[in-house]
Structure 1
Amino acid sequence: MGLGPQLGVSARNRMTWRDKIAHISWPMIFLIGCIASIGFAMLYSAAHGSADPWMDRQAARFGVGLAMMFAVAMIDLKTLMRFVYPAYVVSILLLVWVDFAGEVGMGAQRWIDLGVVQLQPSEIMKITLVMTLARYFHGLSYEDVGRPLSLIVPTLLVLVPAALVLKQPDLGTAGMLMMVAAAMFVVVGVRWWKFALVLAMGVGVAYYAWNSPDILHDYQKARIMTFMDPESDLQGTGYHITQSKIALGSGGVWGKGFLQGTQSHLDFLPERQTDFIFTMYAEEFGMVGGLVLLGLYVLLVAYGVVIAVRCKSQFGRLLAFGLSFNLFCYFFINTAMVMGLIPVVGVPLPLISYGGTVLMTVLIGFGLVMSVNIHRDQRIGRRLGNEDA
């Protein structure tokens, strides 16, 4: 898997714009374009063969997002590090703003209405949390990571936004934040017995949350119970997942063909342009089409992991790995959800599902990964400004 030629500049020399453009990850951009094109086609199909109201808006946002992705890719890692903690603070403030004055939709208070666009701060936090943990662990040695006291700060960095997101309520995004953070903790060398201790504490918190209406709402409990027995309420809480399974089964091996899906086009399939868009895709293109799409996602994740491994700075390695795992969580949770393997949660399919904030943050995340690749030879000391290895 080619990542471009080795950089011809030393760690102490600044790269020119021409150098940076020469090391853009074009294979990654090709994969992103393939997945996004599938998304445009599915949004066209979701609107019964019309570009309005979803495909045309998504395409326009994708164009803006690509420009932002290229701009972010040009920023060197040291400059990114300087803005990490301020970005985290702003993200926390946006989550607090949602709690006090956010827009309510579909039973959740998750958006900030900016007039031109509705901003979803929880999606922004998925990116800034990875950046913040990468920045923090970059300043620690392996021995430091082994000390329990050094893990108090990163644990709080995770728990605070997770609690704010859970309060919206958004169980899926809160779960993603915890999963990505746990993966990064493993990569930096946190001992397994500490995870066992956290898991035991998590069981206690889950028990408390289940019995507290202020934390876990009735509809979230219903989703979990429906996951255990979908047929218990086919016309109520079990309707979404039942129709999703019917649509998946009706697609068979090869699918019914583009624009020929019955469950989606007869309006049996709910939220076909967002959370359940993979179901519509699988009905029209079958199991083979579904495996092709999942394969494209796996290639993107693998590409990001290879970039992480080849980077010479701890910050870059953790940043590329965390964002790659974040992408994995996106498509794994969404596809597992629509197949009935996990409870239904509000996690979209990246580059496919309709949504402005999700699309922009995903593309910015790709821009950050490409920045790691472009500046992979840049050495950064544990204290910013020190170029020692």
Structure 2
Amino acid sequence: MTTSSGSSGVVIVGGGLAAARTAEQLRRSEYAGAITIVGDEVHLPYDRPPLSKDVLRAETDDVTLKPAEFYAEKGIELLLGNAVSSVDTGAQRVTLNDGTQLAYDQLVIATGLTPKRISSFPELAGIHVLRSLEDSLALRRAAGAARRAVVVGAGFIGCEVAASMRSLGVGVVLIEPQPAPLASVLGEQIGGLVARLHDSEGVDVRCGVGVARVDGDGRVQSVTLSDGTELTADLVVVGIGSVPVTDWLEGSGIDVDNGVVCDEVGRTSAPHVWAVGDVASWRDVSGSQVRVEHWSNVADQVRVMVPAMLGQDAPTAVTVPYFWSDQYDVKIQCLGEPEATDTVHLVDDDGRKFLAYFEREGVLVGVVGAAMSGPVMKARSKIAARASIADVLA
């Protein structure tokens, strides 16, 4: 069937932050047409960063971005618990899993990511990934009965889960094939400082080693590492990254390459189709395609995409990428675009807190700080201005 309410207007596919912010920005920009958000989860659009922290630690269950009344007042229709299975860009129509078809004037792809899994792992109870609210609640229940957990992958999600598990009294072994946690993102030196933080909280950090095998009888009981070490475990969390949710676009003619390929304002290769958030690979000022998975990036993108969609002037202000990670009582913050190969200038380190500047070709390109919010945020204008590292360190 075809729903009359979706016969025109903007259809937003995805029920998370990017979808909610896009709908909000449309109404803020005085768009008066129909807006429909289609999400595969039954929940109202919610915030994901707390899943590995506040929700997992049982400090809250409510991570809803806006109450149901907001969407009703703004005339935003929610079709939840029903994923989109395909899109016909010629007919400007999407088809949902239950057969419902929605026509659109403009389509926004905001489907986000899905966690990578390790295909060699057996189907055992006690092996978890973390992406959805249900994942977090299930992991919280499992942690309540667990004594020993193995977290595979020491990226931001893995580190946050390890920290939350320790606060729940669970023994944690953190496994990372790279030389240090976050080494592929922030380099070995900063990764070493993050490892130090976890070590001080009682986490057994094992770097330069992977997982060879997981064993158990119906439920996970042990993890064997690539160096032959066997670890007892009644809980395993896989945090090895995520991939964009784009399978439903197969055959649509929309270009996909590590996400939905977009121009500098979020326009895809298909007419009247846009993409935003974690799933979207936007063209940057240098002409490269970049897909950013940071929470704050969504607001920056919708402020550009929505005016372009509506034929209005888009803002041109220079934005400095920003993200953060809460681990124990320490907020690790990053401004700019640091890379693992940059020269690192560690300018403050008291054994737990630290501040580091990242230099590339003599220019300040990023700053990373742990429990150093003030100095980190003060560096924003210097990064935007591409300040000389010599001037910054003077």
TM class by smaller structure? under 0.3
TM-score, normalising length: structure 1: 0.24
The structure with the largest helix share of the pair is: 1
The structure with the largest strand share of the pair is: 2
Higher relative contact order, chain-length normalized (CA < 8 Å, sep 6+) = 1
TM-score, normalising length: structure 2: 0.23
